[in-house]
Amino acid sequence: MQLSASPYEERLTAPRSWWLVCLLVGVSMALILLPFGTLPLLGGLAGGTAAAAVVASSYGSVRIRVVGGALIAGEAKIPVSALGEPEVLDAEEARAWRTYKADTRAFMLLRAYIPGALRIPVTDPADPTPYLYLSTRQPQRLIAALEAARAAA
């Protein structure tokens, strides 16, 4: 497998404020278990915080990669030769493409806490997916990596 000339990898991590919410979930569990004593209170604090942190971490563990002539976004893997010209979406246009402009057949790797996105048409006639919608913090770097992978293929 040949690596692209400009490898790209981005992890769509959850925002820092979510970790505060995880702590608040733990405090809520502790308060619920307060009538049962100190040990259940501490267990609720630790267990609630840990459970919420696992959920936040798994939601933010999705990655976008360009490697070996393919775009890998979450569970999807598509060769760059089957992709059209990417379009950078600003915050307002990204919101429009996730709501009223969205196509139900599209592959959408979206994270609402990331304001910008990239919309990439799928040009493969055998693929029913009209486009990929990818939330990304670095759309220009992703476009450069896609172009480099397309040139290397």
Distance CA 125, CA 129 (A): 9
| 152 band by pLDDT with thresholds 50, 70 and 90 | confident
Q: What's the average model confidence in pLDDT over 35-62?
A: 93
Q: Where are the beta strands (DSSP E) in the chain?
A: 8-11, 63-67, 70-73, 76-79, 87-89, 107-109, 117-121, 131-135
Phi-psi region of 16 (alpha: psi -120 to 50; beta: other; left: phi over 0): alpha
Q: What is the pLDDT of the chain when averaged over all its residues?
A: 91
Decide: helix, strand or coil at residue 59: helix
Q: What's the average model confidence in pLDDT over 41-62?
A: 93
User: Can you give the pLDDT at residue 6?
Assistant: 54
Cross-strand bridge partners of residue 65: 9, 72
Distance CA 55, CA 49 (A): 10
In the predicted structure, residue 3 carries a pLDDT above the cut 50 = no
Give the domain ranges of the chain. 16-59, 69-152
Pair 107, 135: CB distance under 8 Å? no
Distance CA 153, CA 79 (A): 10
User: Can you give the pLDDT at residue 1?
Assistant: 44
Residues 6 or more apart from 42 whose CB is under 8 A from it?
Answer: 30
| 60 band by pLDDT with thresholds 50, 70 and 90 | confident
User: What would the pLDDT profile of 13-32 be if each residue is shown by its tens digit?
Assistant: 888 899 999 999 999 999 99
The alpha carbon dihedral of 60, 62, 66, 68 has a sign of positive
Picking from 90, 117, 91, 92, the residue whose alpha carbon sits closest to that of residue 106 is 117
User: What would the pLDDT profile of 84-136 be if each residue is shown by its tens digit?
Assistant: 999 999 999 999 999 999 999 999 998 888 988 999 999 999 999 999 999 99
